[in-house]
């Protein structure tokens, strides 16, 4: 059974930083594209970033480009999302997800991903 567990969320002031982690079990993350999504209250879930199975290619939403960094450690079966210069509009529940195989052109669409974590809350106060 594949399980993804996110942690590292919390409350931070605008301009601060957080690093989210995603721990996987039951599946080797090195075989999958890993994505991070977020969902704010009353809004649809949106793709934030994705990283290829090898870690060699990364993809970002325009809203986070230059502020967020996605990475992975396949030997630990872990993924990460480092979030700098946080803004109030980054407040959301953040989820990690796995799409077996290479990252799709539509990496930002949740329908592409087979496995999801339960999420970790990030709250940014201005």
Report pLDDT for 85. Answer: 98
State pLDDT tens for residues 66-119.
999 999 999 999 999 999 999 999 999 999 999 999 999 999 999 999 999 999
Which uninterrupted H or E stretch holds 68? strand 68-73
Is residue 15 left, alpha or beta, with left meaning phi > 0 and alpha meaning psi from -120 to 50?
left
Which three-class secondary structure state does DSSP give residue 74? helix
According to DSSP, residue 6 is labeled: E
Question: How does residue 9 score in pLDDT terms, banded at 50, 70 and 90?
Answer: very high
Report pLDDT for 99. Answer: 97
State pLDDT tens for residues 38-50.
999 999 999 999 9
Tokens read off for 28: 């080797």
Question: How does residue 1 score in pLDDT terms, banded at 50, 70 and 90?
Answer: very high
Report pLDDT for 53. Answer: 97
Residues 81, 118: Cα–Cα separation, whole Å: 16
Which three-class secondary structure state does DSSP give residue 47? strand
Q: Looking at residues 10-24, what average pLDDT do you find?
A: 98
Where b means 16+ CB within 10 Å and e means fewer, 104-114 reads: beebbebebbe
């Amino acid at each position: 059974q594949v399980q993804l567990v996110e942690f590292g969320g919390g409350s931070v002031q605008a301009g601060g930083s957080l690093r989210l982690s995603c721990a996987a079990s039951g599946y080797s993350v090195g075989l999958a594209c890993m994505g991070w999504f977020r969902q704010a209250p009353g809004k649809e879930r949106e793709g934030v970033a994705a990283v290829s199975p090898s870690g060699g290619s990364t993809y970002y939403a325009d809203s986070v480009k230059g502020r967020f960094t996605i990475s992975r450690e396949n030997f630990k079966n872990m993924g990460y999302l480092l979030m700098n210069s946080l803004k109030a509009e980054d407040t959301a529940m953040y989820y990690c997800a796995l799409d077996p195989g290479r990252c799709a052109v539509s990496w930002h669409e949740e329908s592409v991903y087979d496995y999801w974590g339960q999420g970790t809350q990030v709250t940014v106060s201005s």
